[in-house]
Chain A
């Protein structure tokens, strides 16, 4: 049975890929429940010899951890809401209105995807400072608002709405507001959700801006808190860093697992132009 072996080999390859990609997550989870001793002497066992919550307790006592989560949550939520609304409006305009220079405008916006962040980094840093927003959460979030990805994804999904649906609504006297809230949003809801999750997750994981802007510990985000426990030799904070890692990952992973189908659908169409 040549065919069977064939399939077996393929599965082996894919399972290996999944293991390589997901092992770090399991590793982090397992070590976050180990004692430091256990972690160093019992490297290969994924099940802790003595199960402990000490690492998590440490995180909350050594840091104002709830505050850090709160900061991260505040930034991510604000960025997500703002970007969803503005991307939705811009995409609607691109798909359902006709105006001169529409395609040029879209092309210019799209090409900003290919601008390295270092090109805008210094002037934006200066802008934030001159507005007195250095070392503030607002200062971290506003440079993140300029993002064309949402326009791209939502435009793509709006183009899938048959034009006749919108025309019918216009014929019945529906206003633009009616059309957006009553027709467009319900029809592309899965795409809005997955775009929103992507925004949230990207902002949650954002590293460059918090590093540049934030100085005070009470204003730190999760990415910065993590950095406090790093040392390449492992060190005494190893298991605590694992606990922080787990808590940093937990929200993005949960969101992903819940909305996995929407997210994968939205992305599979994003490359097909």
Chain B
């Protein structure tokens, strides 16, 4: 399998820059996720790799070869579109075999490959149906079969699960993993869904406004978010971010403060900064209804039932935090005391919003 490299890639539409100076490596045989909110440029990047969009500047290397100007049909990519792009006038079989037919693969081999793809994706019995006569999940599998049958080095997926309902999505995710374990293509997957990104990716590239926010493993994304945007994008509910002042070994939030452990004190003193953002994941705070040492007090404003977990909205001197807990849920209007897990908190630069690092990682 071959890798894909983007070198200083720029995409402009007229005066509007959608992707700016992007450098990204998609490792050979690995699953890389392009993650970000809608309009962040992730689909544009995928389409540039496929050759469906022109590249304004920079180099696209596929298997070490510069491919900027190669026609889409000669890039050896298989792609699954968000709407699946199945031909409504062709049967399942014809849809799956279309690429092979265009490439003039001989009849015998074509049938073999189509029927093995049909078996692989459990579409037996549906060969002669048209897409109209299939359920959403079946259509999605036809789209996958169509990509698999090509046996190409690169497998591009543009939000392939977004048209499925929640239950099917879990199943389809597992199926995608199996497929990739079988064929081990270089796999690029575009999504706005962090769960898909975390569960499917070897690596994740998070984008916002055409800029790369962070590249790393799913574990890194949670434990070491590169900046405020990453910390708020990952995790559900997202991390609590508040502006704090660091002075005399304490962080001041509103009128309250916490004494930081010595390792944090040393680490933050070394940065020479006083103003900064704190980032705390909602699962990393302990709540108690009696005052505890080194805690913040807050008023419970809302309690949400997530089903098995509870989201507690707490007002801490006008900072709104969410804390997730499983039991002993406080009632709305009560005062609670919050003690964060110091090992899992993050501090960010007040202007660049970059992570200031952690003594624990």
Q: Chain B: interface secondary structure?
A: loop
Q: Are A171 and B89 in contact, CB atoms less than 8 angstroms apart?
A: no
1/0 per position for A220-240, CB-CB distance to B under 8 A? 000000000000000000000
Q: Return A72 CB to nearest CB of chain B, in Å.
A: 34
1/0 per position for B72-115, CB-CB distance to A under 8 A? 11110101011101011100000000110011000000000000
Q: A162 in the interface, Cβ–Cβ < 8 Å?
A: yes
Contact of A170 with B52 at beta-carbon distance under 8 Å, contacts A162-B83, A164-B83 already known: yes
Q: Are B83 and A173 in contact, CB atoms less than 8 angstroms apart?
A: no
1/0 per position for A150-185, CB-CB distance to B under 8 A? 000000000000101101111111100010000100
Q: Are B98 and A172 in contact, CB atoms less than 8 angstroms apart?
A: yes
Cβ of A172: which chain B residues have Cβ within 8 Å of it?
73, 98-99, 102-103, 150
Q: Are B72 and A170 in contact, CB atoms less than 8 angstroms apart?
A: yes
Contact of A162 with B85 at beta-carbon distance under 8 Å, contacts A167-B52, A171-B73 already known: yes
Bound together, the chains give a CA A173 to CA B71 distance in angstroms of 8
Q: B50 in the interface, Cβ–Cβ < 8 Å?
A: yes
Interface size on A, residues (CB 8 A): 15
Q: A186 in the interface, Cβ–Cβ < 8 Å?
A: yes
Q: A187 in the interface, Cβ–Cβ < 8 Å?
A: yes
Q: B51 in the interface, Cβ–Cβ < 8 Å?
A: yes
Bound together, the chains give a CA A162 to CA B51 distance in angstroms of 18
Cβ of A168: which chain B residues have Cβ within 8 Å of it?
79, 81, 85
Cβ of B85: which chain A residues have Cβ within 8 Å of it?
162, 164-165, 167-168
Q: Chain A: interface secondary structure?
A: helix
Bound together, the chains give a CA A171 to CA B81 distance in angstroms of 11
Q: Are B77 and A171 in contact, CB atoms less than 8 angstroms apart?
A: yes
Q: Are A171 and B102 in contact, CB atoms less than 8 angstroms apart?
A: no
Q: A178: nearest residue on chain B (CB-CB)? A: B102
1/0 per position for B37-53, CB-CB distance to A under 8 A? 00000000000001110
Cβ of A183: which chain B residues have Cβ within 8 Å of it?
87, 89
Bound together, the chains give a CA A170 to CA B74 distance in angstroms of 9
Cβ of A178: which chain B residues have Cβ within 8 Å of it?
102
Bound together, the chains give a CA A187 to CA B98 distance in angstroms of 15
Cβ of B81: which chain A residues have Cβ within 8 Å of it?
164, 167-168
Cβ of B98: which chain A residues have Cβ within 8 Å of it?
169, 172
Q: Which of A169, A170, A171, A187 contacts B88 (CB 8 A)?
A: A187
Bound together, the chains give a CA A187 to CA B82 distance in angstroms of 20
Bound together, the chains give a CA A165 to CA B82 distance in angstroms of 11
Bound together, the chains give a CA A169 to CA B103 distance in angstroms of 11
Q: Are A171 and B72 in contact, CB atoms less than 8 angstroms apart?
A: yes
Q: Are B83 and A171 in contact, CB atoms less than 8 angstroms apart?
A: no
Q: Are B89 and A174 in contact, CB atoms less than 8 angstroms apart?
A: no
Q: B90: nearest residue on chain A (CB-CB)? A: A186
1/0 per position for B279-297, CB-CB distance to A under 8 A? 0000000000000000000
Q: Among the interface residues A165, A167, A168, A187, which one has the most CB atoms of the partner chain B within 10 A?
A: A168
Q: Which of B50, B52, B75, B89 contacts A187 (CB 8 A)?
A: B89
A interface residues (Cβ-Cβ under 8 A, vs B): 162, 164-165, 167-174, 178, 183, 186-187
Q: What 3 A-B pairs have minimum CB-CB distances, sorted nearest first?
A: A173-B73, A164-B85, A172-B99
Known: A168-B81, A187-B87. 12 other contacts (CB 8 A): A164-B85, A167-B72, A167-B85, A169-B102, A171-B50, A172-B73, A172-B99, A172-B102, A172-B150, A173-B72, A174-B73, A187-B89
- Residue pairs across A and B with Cβ atoms less than 8 A apart, 13 shown, are A165-B85, A168-B81, A168-B85, A170-B71, A171-B50, A171-B72, A172-B102, A172-B150, A174-B102, A178-B102, A183-B87, A187-B88, A187-B89
B interface residues (Cβ-Cβ under 8 A, vs A): 50-52, 71-75, 77, 79, 81-83, 85, 87-89, 98-99, 102-103, 150
